Amino acid sequence: MSEKRIIIALDFASAREALTLVDQLDPQVCRVKIGNELFTATGPSLIRDIAARKFDVFLDLKFHDIPTTVARAVSAAADLGVWMMNVHAAGGQIMMEQASEALAGFGDSRPLLIAVTVLTSMAEGDLGDVGINCKPQEWVQRLATLANAAGLDGVVCSAAETSMLRASLPAEFCLVTPGIRRAEDTVGDQKRVVGPAEAIANGSDYLVVGRPITRANSPLEALEAFNTAVAGVS
C-alpha cells in the first residue's frame, strides 16, 4: 500500500482557491480530491492543471445513472488521467460491472474504481427516511459486498465500518474513509467520524480530509500532523 494515505478534499468553489491550496502542498506526501462543486465550477481543465503539478487526483463525482451512461462517464474520466474515481453502489451490480468493464482497455493507466456505500453525513434515521430500514453498518456491508462482486477496487465507507469489511472482503479490496477528524477538529456536517490513527488501525487504506487541513493556518503543517498520526499505526 502506498505511503500516501491522506487524500485532501479540495472543497472550494473556484480553481483559484483550489490551486492556492495545492501550491502549498507536496505531491510526494498526499493526494487530492475534486468533488461535484469544484468540478462543476471549473470543468476538466483543473484536473489537468493539478495533474501537471504531479498530484494524483481522486475524481469524486459519485456517478449514478443507467449502466451505459455511467460506463461512458467512467471512460471519459479515465481519459483525463485521474488516479481514482467513484460510482454509487446503490446504482446496482450491473451498473458497477459495466463501469468496471469500461476501464478494461486502459491497461497500466487504469484508474481505481470504487463505490460509495453510505454517505458519512447520514445516520440511521436518514436511511429510514428513504425507506432503508436497517443500521448504516448493515447497509454498508450489503453494498460493499455487491461492489466486490461487480469487480470494483473498493468502497468509500466510514471508519466505523472498516473492521467489519476487512473481516469479510479480500485484503486487496480498498477502503477509503471520509469524515476524518482529530480531537481538536470541528465535526462540521459529518455524523460518523473517526480520528486518523483509529481509522488506519481499523483497516482504512486512504483517509479523506477536508477542512482540518484546507482551513488550517498552515495546511502543510496540518497535513504533516495527519501523516504523523497515520505513520504511527501504518
> Is 4 one of the annotated active-site residues of the chain?
no
The confidence score (pLDDT) of residue 231 equals 87
Residue 187, pLDDT above cutoff 60: no
Coil, strand, or helix at residue 174?
Answer: strand
Residue 1, pLDDT above cutoff 50: no
From the CB of residue 142, how many other CB atoms can be counted at a distance below 10 Å? 14
Tell if the pTM clears 0.85, that is, is over it.
Answer: yes
Domain architecture of the chain: domains with CATH: 6-231 (3.20.20.70)
Task: For residues 92-121, give the mean pLDDT.
Answer: 95
**Of 4, 62, 135, 191, which one is the catalytic site residue?**
62
Higher-pLDDT residue of 193, 40: 40
Residue 75, pLDDT above cutoff 60: yes
Contact 40, 16 (CB under 8 A): no
Coil, strand, or helix at residue 179?
Answer: coil
- What is the C-alpha separation between 184 and 213, in angstroms, rounded? 12
φ and ψ at 34, to 5 degrees?
-110, 120
Give residue-wise pLDDT tens across range 129-151: 999 989 889 999 999 999 999 99
- What is the C-alpha separation between 3 and 133, in angstroms, rounded? 38
With pLDDT > 70 as the criterion, what percentage of the chain qualifies? Answer: 94
Task: For residues 11-26, give the mean pLDDT.
Answer: 96
- What is the C-alpha separation between 157 and 176, in angstroms, rounded? 6
Task: For residues 82-90, give the mean pLDDT.
Answer: 97
Give residue-wise pLDDT tens across range 152-186: 999 999 888 999 999 999 999 999 999 787 666 55
